């Protein structure tokens, strides 16, 4: 039987709650829950104390549903939710992107709050910083992208005449771009305007460009008032255990995903810098462009690096022609990716995130089908949220256990 807290009598006033992890709002919620628990203990002194009938190993139990109706109703509810998310992606996707960006920028807002900057001003500074980085990268890449757009039309027909396998790579890349809504003729190099290409890619992945203002507004209000939802949820939950679980779940999701996003972004930045250096060593022009490409594709596990290796094969052939030097750019990038994927990332994230690689691959395929490239980028964070929620809700623990790495 789990131990009940000792009764508090009038002669022994309760001590102040200890320091708790999380944001100030979460600390306040946890303290209020402790006070409520103490008041329940005082009220139970005059009557029979409530007996906790839960087994000691309840947290480890993974019950399976016995009623087929429960399984079928749960499956129908899941299908209904996914159908709404697919049909209403113009509304749902900006909200999901804003939630993920909120987790990414939340540490910045808290850091500014610690130096006495108001929360609203800190949220505004974080949003402006994100927007400046986004626009700055686009401006920085315009020159090298324009140079490659000018050189590619003359190089691609020669390569396709010399190598049959290049035709297959180009055909596969053309099919992928067509699925994304990008109208580019890779075989002839037509339509490779950097502005048009970037706009087509963003437009083909949920029309995020047209929703950028909406994303920024939602992100700002989430950073300023997001914790209000948690406070109201805790207020309406009926029991102490429900309130405790809600606070613990939200704290774990925020803490784990913020750490994941910041760590992965830092790792990808190192990969981008190493790739730029490798392209400089290989004699490939536009090293900043390829560093940013390596940084961006590394947010998509498995599929992103595979596509990048194929891209660097073509880059090596375009720059060096039919020589052994053409193998150097993809080989160096592959070495960087193997070092990152097999050593650095597992060392930094293995203790916190242990998700089945098969589940990751299935999530990539599914969310890419749902929301395009943006869905593939969001696949791992969404899978991590699903696992945390399933681990905390007893009827869903069996499914969370299936996602365990």
Residue 20 in domain: no
Does residue 30 surpass a pLDDT of 70? no
Residue 111 in domain: yes
* Cα–Cα distance for residue pair 206/214, rounded to 1 Å: 13
Residue 188 in domain: yes
Q: How confident is the model at residue 169 (pLDDT cuts 50, 70, 90)?
A: low
Q: So what's the pLDDT on residue 351?
A: 60
Domain that holds residue 157: 90-224
Please check whether residue 260 is in contact with residue 301, taking contact to mean a CB–CB distance below 8 angstroms: no
Question: Is 81 in a helix, a strand, or coil?
Answer: helix
Dump the DSSP string for 98-154. HHHHHHHHHHHHHHHHHTT--HHHHHHHHHHHHHHHHHHHHHHHHHHHHHHHHHHHH
Residue 180 in domain: yes
Sign of the dihedral defined by the CA atoms of residues 284, 288, 290, 294, in that order: positive
- Give the H/E segment covering residue 68: helix 68-87
Indicate the range of 53-62, 220-229, 241-250, 350-359 predicted with least confidence: 53-62
The predicted-structure confidence for 316-344, as pLDDT tens digits, reads as follows 877 777 778 888 888 999 999 888 877 77
- The structure tokens listed for 326 are 């053409």
Q: Considering the chain, what percentage of its residues have pLDDT values greater than 70? A: 66
* Cα–Cα distance for residue pair 258/252, rounded to 1 Å: 10
Residue 81 in domain: no
Residue 17 φ/ψ, nearest 5 degrees: -60, 145
Residue 49 in domain: no
Residue 371 in domain: no
Q: So what's the pLDDT on residue 91?
A: 87
Give me the number of domains the chain comprises. 1
* Cα–Cα distance for residue pair 5/240, rounded to 1 Å: 13
Residue 110 in domain: yes
């Amino acid at each position: 039987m789990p131990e009940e807290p000792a009764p508090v009598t009038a002669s022994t006033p309760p001590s102040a709650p200890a320091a708790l992890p999380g944001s100030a709002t979460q600390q306040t919620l946890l303290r209020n829950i402790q006070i409520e628990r103490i008041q329940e203990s005082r009220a139970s002194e005059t009557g029979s104390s409530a007996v906790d009938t839960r087994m000691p190993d309840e947290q480890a139990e993974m019950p399976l549903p016995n009623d087929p109706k429960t399984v079928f109703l749960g499956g129908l509810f899941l299908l209904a939710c996914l159908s709404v998310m697919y049909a209403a992606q113009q509304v749902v996707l900006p909200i999901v992107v804003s939630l993920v960006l909120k987790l990414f920028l939340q540490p910045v807002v808290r850091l500014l709050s610690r130096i006495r900057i108001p929360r609203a001003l800190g949220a505004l500074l974080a949003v402006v910083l994100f927007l400046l980085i986004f626009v700055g990268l686009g401006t920085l890449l315009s020159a090298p992208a324009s140079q490659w757009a000018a050189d590619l039309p003359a190089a691609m027909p020669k390569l396709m005449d010399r190598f049959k396998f290049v035709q297959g790579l180009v055909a596969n890349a053309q099919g992928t771009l067509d699925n994304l809504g990008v109208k580019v003729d890779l075989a002839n190099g037509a339509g490779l305007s950097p502005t048009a290409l970037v706009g087509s890619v963003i437009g083909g992945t949920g029309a995020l460009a047209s929703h950028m203002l909406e994303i920024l507004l939602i992100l700002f209000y989430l950073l300023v008032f997001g914790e209000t939802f948690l406070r109201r949820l805790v207020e309406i939950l009926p029991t102490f255990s429900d309130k405790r679980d809600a606070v613990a779940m939200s704290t774990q999701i925020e803490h784990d995903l913020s750490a994941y996003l910041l760590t992965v972004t830092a790792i990808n930045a190192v990969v981008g810098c190493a790739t730029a250096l490798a392209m400089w060593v290989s004699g490939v022009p536009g090293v900043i462009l390829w560093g940013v490409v390596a940084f961006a594709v590394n947010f998509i596990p498995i599929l992103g690096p595979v596509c990048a290796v194929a891209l660097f094969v073509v880059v090596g052939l375009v720059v060096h022609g039919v020589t052994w030097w053409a193998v150097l750019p993809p080989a160096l990038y592959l070495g960087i990716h193997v070092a990152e994927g097999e050593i650095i990332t597992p060392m930094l994230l293995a203790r916190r995130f242990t998700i089945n690689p098969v589940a990751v691959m299935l999530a990539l395929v599914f969310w890419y089908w749902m929301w395009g490239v943006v869905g593939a980028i969001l696949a791992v964070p969404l899978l991590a949220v699903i696992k945390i929620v399933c681990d905390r809700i007893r009827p869903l623990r069996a499914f969370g256990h299936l996602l365990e790495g």
